[in-house]
Amino acid sequence: MRFLCSSTLLFLSLLSASSYALDKPKDRVILTISGAISTTNVGQEAQFDLEMLQALPQHTITTHNPWTEGEHTYQGFSLKDLLDSLGNQGTLLQISALNQYMTEAPLKDYTVEGAILATHQDGKPMSVRKLGPIMVIYPFDTNNDLKTEVYYGRSVWQVSQINTLIITE
């Protein structure tokens, strides 16, 4: 009996350790996170399909931006919410796009500056042709300080991969 109990407990704790990890994506993977994270679902990475990203708290920003005509409402998630759920320790992000563009941005941009990772424009999923499936959107219309090359350069569209780095100063 004692053996049964302890082996059952061992089994349950192994089960919870492995199932604590993220679900695996069921659909096309649109975002892969790597680097200083502790929760993964495929090898050392955390991979997400659109449905998994839509399960995160959603935020909207209504703004113009230099790459699209007119004002639009962008909906998506906060990168901080996503990274917190993965046990992230990194403070610097390397954000890569489908066209191999890569830039670095501090995680602070997603808290202090209020950027979101948009998956929807005016309620519709963003196609690759419309700079999707994921685009970094800053609230340009409510903060003129964002209208600089620094933030334009961090406005990555067609985002596909994010690596997080621990930077010690």
Ligand X SMILES: Nc1nc2c(c(=O)[nH]1)N[C@H]1C(S)=C(S)[C@@H](COP(=O)(O)O)O[C@H]1N2
Which positions lie near Mo ion, rule CB under 5 A? 153
Q: Is the dihedral of CA 70, 72, 78, 82 positive or negative?
A: negative
Amino acid at 155: S
Amino acid at 144: N
In the complex with ligand X, which residue's Cβ is closer, 36 or 95? 95
The answer to the question of residue 160 lying near ligand X (CB under 6 A) is no
Q: Which two tokens stand for residue 118?
A: 């948009």
The residue from 101, 104, 124, 167 that contacts ligand X (CB under 6 A) is 101
From residue 50 to residue 79, the character string flagging contacts with ligand X as x (rule: CB under 6 A) and all else as - is: -----------------x------------
Q: Where are the beta strands (DSSP E) in 37-115?
A: 46-48, 58-65, 68-77, 92-97, 102-106
User: Which of the 8 DSSP states describes residue 118?
Assistant: E
Alpha-carbon gap, residue 162 to 104, rounded angstroms: 10
Within 60-169, where are the H helices? 79-85, 149-154
Least distance between ligand X and beta carbon 32 (Å)? 15
Least distance between ligand X and beta carbon 97 (Å)? 3
Residues with Cβ within 8 Å of residue 5, at least 6 apart in sequence: none
The answer to the question of residue 83 lying near ligand X (CB under 6 A) is no
Amino acid at 71: E
The answer to the question of residue 11 lying near ligand X (CB under 6 A) is no
In the complex with ligand X, which residue's Cβ is closer, 41 or 98? 98
From residue 127 to residue 156, the character string flagging contacts with ligand X as x (rule: CB under 6 A) and all else as - is: ----------------------x--xx-xx
The residue from 6, 8, 99, 142 that contacts ligand X (CB under 6 A) is 99
Least distance between Mo ion and beta carbon 55 (Å)? 33
Residues forming the site for ligand X (CB under 6 A)? 67, 97, 99, 101, 149, 152-153, 155-158
